[in-house]
Chain A
Amino acid sequence: MNVPTTIHVDRTRIAARLAWLAASLVLLAAGCGGHANDKEPAASDPSRPFAGQTLRVFNWSDYIDPDLLKEFEAQTGAKVQYDNFASDAELETKMLAGGSEYDVIFPSDRSMTPLVKKGLLAPLDKSLLPGMKHLDPKFLDARFDRGNRYSVPYFWGTVAVGVQSDKVDKDAKDFKVLFDPKYSGHITMLDDPENVVAIVLLSLNLPMNSTKDEDLAKVKAVLKAQRPLVQAYTSDAFKDKLISGDAWVALGWSGDILQAREKRASVRVIVPSSGSMIWADSMAIPVGAKQPKLAHAFIDFLLGPEVAARNANFVRYPTPNAAARAKVDPALRSDPAVYPPADVLDRCQWLEDRGADISKIERLWREIK
């Protein structure tokens, strides 16, 4: 599961997700049946250019300030229909089955690669997105979408380690703590070969995206030795385990670990100063979206510094919007666990698309599990 996925995976959605999986197979079977083209009603009120139109948004749950949706509706006269997905696969499969049901989607960086490759995203009209100028260039021109032809960054984060400060050495400050036998039975790892392998490579001071056999052999040795220490491989339960105290050392998404810290003060967030893995979620428009103009307007609305800052205060993830950052709640803004210092951020890396080499990582993962 990719990074953002798990941040939003609500356990109770798993069942719905499976039901959806079955249904989507049937949908795929039916093929991309023609959708009725509902005509856009003519805009009669120039101040409310989109009156009568419906904007269909497909996003992770609880990943937007709902007040902003109301505000957008009031400004444009359009109606927003907001649907949730719970995993990369859910979004990708829906897009494959005919994405024109939605006007704006919020794919993770990992989903972006297949969506772009399969030509499922519509090129953005930059003239309709003046707000892009507020974005921090660090988050532009990502490897999954050179030149931001299809996407605009929405939020980002890192992979971090959450530790119980009363159980774990004060001077633990990097990924090495994950492999310390002292914490045997109280370590949780993400259940995800790509991310875990990347983290182990980082902890070994090897290139994070390496697929060299000798590098992977070292990773395998480390993970094999760690296996008996691990309480759980989980991409969703580690937050609860940190809150309950079952986990002393948990590898997870920075946002989840921060949420755990809000519930349990003894939780400490480690973002290694040597750098970590960084991820981002984007906004994009599927090919065949029925309201492309309205979709652009919505994206641009969310790029506004005022709006972006309010949104960041609500979802508590770091925003890639440089102009908005100054307006973010100071407590949040000054927290190095949320916004790592610039030098640390410089050392953070993106996960690359490994293509067919992913098989090597998958094989390694099967062997250690």
Chain B
Amino acid sequence: MKGPAAWPPLIYLVAFFLVPTCLVASYSLRARDFSGHIRAEASVEGWREATGSYSMPILGRSLALAGAVTAACLVLGYPCAMVLARQPKGQRRAWVVLLSFPLVTSQLLRIFGWLNLLPLSLRGTTWGVGLVMAAAYLPFMLLPLLRACERVDPDVRLAALDLGATPWQAFHRVTWPLTRPGAIAGCSLVFIPAAGEYLIPHFIGEGKVTVLGTMIVEEFMERRNWPFASAAAMVLLIVIVVPAAVSIRLSGKGPRARPGGASE
């Protein structure tokens, strides 16, 4: 079936994604100019650095941190969403507004708040960075989870208990499969930006927690190493496009009826 040409999204896609991405990709394949920018000749030095022994541990650390933050948000967000989903509608709406409040306040403002709250011993540590990131990203997990939990008929859980499921089995076999699309959406909303996070590691990490985001900004802005910074940005993009594509596929499927016998 052919619809009308989708011009506006196409233009956005080209102007705000394809063109910058192609530019970054082309910078990544040029030689470094030590006084900034790039030189005309081609070079794979940027990619060599971006996949080398300096960058790879940082990439690993960034992904591990993003994964831990995502897991923390899921563990914190799930019970919260389940409890909220059972509140009366008016109260729930008030809660949603309150929980979304961090999203409408400046992230920098919140980071400076954390700088004052965090004890010195947590600042400049990966734990501190992870803690602040989890707090910052929690709403992104909570809102899709809450939407998913709201749509689950509360009687369905009771039915599972009534039919012999322990509370854990009721969660594992019923509540979780029914809310999984929301959880996947929440996880990708947290993981994807967390993997490239710059502000929180920059400020909370106090220069002692180097992740991909801070590394790219540092290489681009401070070292003027454009090919390396661009190649690292491409690596991040590739590393993020993969989970994004997977999560879109997973959540696109939605909760499907599964054969009773084969679902073990």
Cβ of A204 under 8 Å from chain B? no
Within 8 A of A (CB), among B85-120: 106-108, 112, 120
22 A/B residue pairs, CB under 8 Å, sorted by A: A1-B221, A14-B108, A22-B20, A26-B19, A26-B20, A28-B23, A29-B20, A89-B222, A92-B36, A93-B36, A96-B36, A96-B37, A114-B224, A117-B35, A118-B35, A191-B207, A231-B124, A232-B207, A355-B34, A366-B54, A369-B208, A369-B210
Q: A230-B208, A232-B123 are in contact. Are A15 and B107 (CB under 8 A)?
A: yes
Q: Does A331 belong to the interface (CB within 8 Å)? A: no
Bin chain A's interface residue count: 35 or more
B contacts with A, residue count (CB < 8 A): 33
Q: Are A12 and B23 in contact (CB under 8 A)?
A: no
With a cutoff of 8 Å between Cβ atoms, the chain B residues found around residue A246 in the complex are 120
Distance (Å) between the CB of A366 and the closest chain B CB? 5
Asked whether any CB of chain B lies closer than 8 Å to the CB of A185, the reply is yes
CB B210 to nearest CB in A, in angstroms, measures: 6
Q: Is A113 an interface residue (CB 8 A)?
A: yes
B15 and A26 contact, CB distance less than 8 A: yes
Contact of B120 with A231 in the complex, beta carbons under 8 Å: yes
Query: Which residues of the partner chain B approach A21 to less than 8 Å between Cβ atoms?
Result: 220-221
Does B124 lie within 8 Å of A232, measured CB to CB? yes
CA distance A13 to B88 in the complex (A): 42
A-B pairs with lowest CB-CB distance, top 3: A233-B207, A114-B35, A232-B206
B203 close to A (CB within 8 Å): yes
Scan residues 156-197 of chain B and give those whose CB is less than 8 A from a CB of chain A.
Answer: none
B36 pairs with A234, CB closer than 8 A: no
Contact B208 A29 (CB under 8 A): no
**Residue A329 at the B interface, CB < 8 A?**
no
CA of A301 to CA of B217, assembled, Å = 37
Chain B residues with Cβ below 8 Å from A237 are 203, 206
Contact A114 B36, beta carbon cutoff 8 Å: yes
Q: Contact at B20–A234, with CB atoms within 8 Å?
A: no
What is the bound-complex CA distance between A249 and B129, given in angstroms?
A: 24
Binary B-proximity of A94-106 (CB < 8 A = 1, otherwise 0): 0010000000000
Chain B residue, CB-CB nearest to A186: B120
Contact (Cβ within 8 A) A11 B108? yes
C-alpha gap A192/B222 in the complex (Å): 8
Evaluate whether A15 and B199 lie within 8 angstroms (CB atoms) in the complex, with A237-B206, A356-B34 already known.
yes
**Distance between Cα atoms of A307 and B113 in the complex (Å):** 40
